[in-house]
């Protein structure tokens, strides 16, 4: 179900495909190596530290700080209809970084490196198929979570 992740999906498969299912349920998942305990976001199935393929998902709270950003005016295929849009890198408090769009709660004139933010799981409303992503919002932003999953 990794094809659910992103406005345009380039790789619809992955060993961490359930990431997208969790995101639909309102959970942001990194990975934890069951053998050596290495944790990382974005998740990866194969441990770069001990080479184990034995991983589990670990929920991240999505709190972090703006690391860098840019407002893209010249958009590539599949993104022309939303340009200009602002993409930013967030440094997560729990470790790791992610790329996401800056959401409506943060006006561009308030966007600065180092400001605290909350990453929020999202579902594209006007898409016929399930499409999930996340946006960067002001701290305190809330969202709906599905009941705890039965997925690994």
Partner 1 sequence: MSRVGIIGAGHGVFGRRSDATVQELAFEAFRLAIKDAGISRDELDATVVAAVPEYHKQRSVAGVVQEYLNLNPKPTWLTEVACASGSAAIRTAWMAIKSGLHQVVAVIGCQKMTELATAEILALMGRVGEVQWESIFGTTFPGYYAMFATNHMHEFGTTHEQMLQVAVKNHFYGAKNPNALFRKEIQLDKAMASDPVASPFCVYDCCANADGAACVILADESRAKALSKKVVWLDGVGCATASMSVLRRPNLVGLPSAVEAGQQAFRMARVAPRDIKVAEVHDCFTIAEIMAYEDLGFCKKGQGGKFIEEKRSYIGGEVAVNVDGGLKAKGHPIGATGVSMAYEIVKQLRGEAGERQVPDANVGLTHNVGGIGQYTFVHVFRRD
Query: CB under 8 A: which stretch of 28-36, 52-60, 80-88, 119-127 binds partner 1?
Result: 80-88
User: Measured between alpha carbons, how far is residue 115 from residues 35, 96, 97 in Å?
Assistant: 35, 17, 15
Length of the chain measured in residues: 152
* Interacting residue with partner 1 among 38, 85, 124, 143 (CB under 8 A): 85
DSSP reduced 3-state for 97 = strand
> Which residues touch 142 (CB under 8 Å, ≥6 apart)?
none
Q: Choosing among partner 1, Zn ion, none, which partner's interface includes residue 52 (Cβ < 5 to 8 Å by kind)?
A: Zn ion
Binding mask of the shown chain, residues 94 to 113, with x at each position contacting partner 1 by CB under 8 A:
--xxxxxx-----------x
Residue 82 binds to partner 1 (criterion: CB under 8 A): yes
Give CA–CA dist 120/150, Å, rounded: 22
In eight-state DSSP terms, residue 5 is B
DSSP reduced 3-state for 25 = coil
Q: Which residues bind Zn ion (CB under 5 A)?
A: 33, 35-36, 38, 47, 49-50, 52
- Where does this chain bind partner 1 (CB under 8 A)? 5-11, 14, 42, 67-79, 82-85, 87, 89, 96-101, 113, 133
């Amino acid at each position: 179900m990794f094809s659910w992740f992103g406005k345009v999906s380039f790789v619809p498969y992955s060993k961490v495909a359930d990431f997208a299912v969790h995101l639909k349920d309102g959970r942001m998942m990194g990975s934890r190596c069951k053998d050596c305990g290495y944790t990382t976001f974005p998740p990866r199935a194969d441990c770069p530290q001990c080479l184990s393929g034995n991983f589990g998902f670990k929920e991240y709270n999505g709190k972090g700080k703006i690391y860098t950003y840019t407002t893209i005016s010249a958009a590539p295929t599949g993104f022309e209809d939303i340009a200009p849009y602002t993409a930013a890198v967030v440094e997560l408090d729990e470790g790791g970084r992610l790329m996401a769009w800056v959401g409506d709660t943060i006006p561009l004139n308030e966007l600065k490196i180092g400001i605290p933010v909350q990453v929020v799981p999202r579902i594209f409303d006007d898409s016929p198929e399930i499409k999930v992503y996340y946006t960067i919002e002001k701290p305190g932003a809330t969202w709906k979570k599905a009941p705890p999953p039965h997925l690994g």
